[in-house]
Amino acid sequence: MHVTSWNILCDFDGTISVEDVIDSLLDRFGRPGWEALEQEWRAGRIGSRECMSGQVALLDMRKDELDKHLEGLWIDHAFPAFVARCAESKTPIRIVSDGLDYAIHRILGRYGLDHLPLAANHLAPATPPRQWQLTSPFQAEGCRSGTCKCACAAQARTQGGKTLLIGDGASDFCAADRVDFVFAKHRLIEHCRAAGIPYVPITGFEDALDLLPRLLDGSLLAEHQQPLPAVSNF
């Protein structure tokens, strides 16, 4: 069996995690005003980096309250097995998220998975107490997202082989057009279908586990590549 070399970029919120972490924090600890920022972002008037920076500044919580809240958030039950299978096949996985690095490390740490490479926004305590601030070490010029997943896709390409994106929503739309194949959930399914991007729909990592052997032997990509138009001799 021929094995194709792949790099995997994987979203976190709603893809690895069962629920969106920042949404859950805002629902529980957000001061008034975060909903208005959300509406501005959904209307396209601000980017996700500006939206999240403003929303994080409205969080009112102590670190111990944050940690206790994160203990109640879970990941897809099949994700650890997917990571193990990728390790067996020497297929690297990098988490690329427009979410919060501290939360992602904290949640994955409960499963022994906080060693996975991560590109995400940085959450840090601010002054006065109970306030927080967001910085974006993986932003890119001209990109309004906190984490530029397109830049992550470009970096993955420099490592050789092909690139798979696993994602679910708007933060994955741009990067989906810059990778070789997509495992898509939720809103990303419709985007890939409309844009003609090679993809398969998944409901979770049980599906991803089943699809992985066919991804690695090249048959999955071959099935979904657009056929070349016939050339007339006349």
Q: What is the per-residue pLDDT across 122-136, written as a single tens digit (0 to 9) for each? A: 999 998 889 999 999
pLDDT value at position 231? 52
Confidence check: pLDDT of 31 > 80: yes
Confidence check: pLDDT of 232 > 80: no
51 confidence band (pLDDT: 50, 70, 90):
very high
The pLDDT tens digits of the residues spanning 168-217 come to: 999 999 999 999 999 999 999 999 999 999 999 999 999 999 999 999 99
Task: Decide if 178 contacts 153 (C-beta within 8 A).
Answer: yes
Q: Hey, which CATH number is domain 6-223, 3.40.50.300, 3.30.420.10, 3.40.50.1000, 3.30.70.2520?
A: 3.40.50.1000
pLDDT value at position 234? 47
Closest CA to 176 of 121, 60, 231, 96: 96
Structure tokens at 13: 């919120």
Q: d(Cα 189, Cα 36) in Å, to the nearest integer?
A: 28
Q: Which 3-state string (H, E, C) describes 90-140?
A: CCCEEEEEEEEHHHHHHHHHCCCCCCCCEEEEEEEECCCCCCEEEECCCCC
The pLDDT tens digits of the residues spanning 105-125 come to: 999 999 999 999 999 999 999
SS3 9: strand
* Helical segments of the chain, H only: 21-29, 34-42, 48-56, 63-71, 79-88, 101-109, 149-157, 173-176, 187-195, 205-216, 219-224
pTM for the predicted model, two decimal places: 0.93
pLDDT value at position 148? 97
Confidence check: pLDDT of 227 > 70: no
Residue 93 bridge partners (DSSP) = 8
Residue 17 bridge partners (DSSP) = 75
* Total Cβ atoms within 10 A of residue 227: 5
The pLDDT tens digits of the residues spanning 74-92 come to: 999 999 999 999 999 999 9
* Total Cβ atoms within 10 A of residue 230: 6
Q: d(Cα 153, Cα 147) in Å, to the nearest integer?
A: 11
Task: Decide if 96 contacts 23 (C-beta within 8 A).
Answer: no
Confidence check: pLDDT of 151 > 60: yes
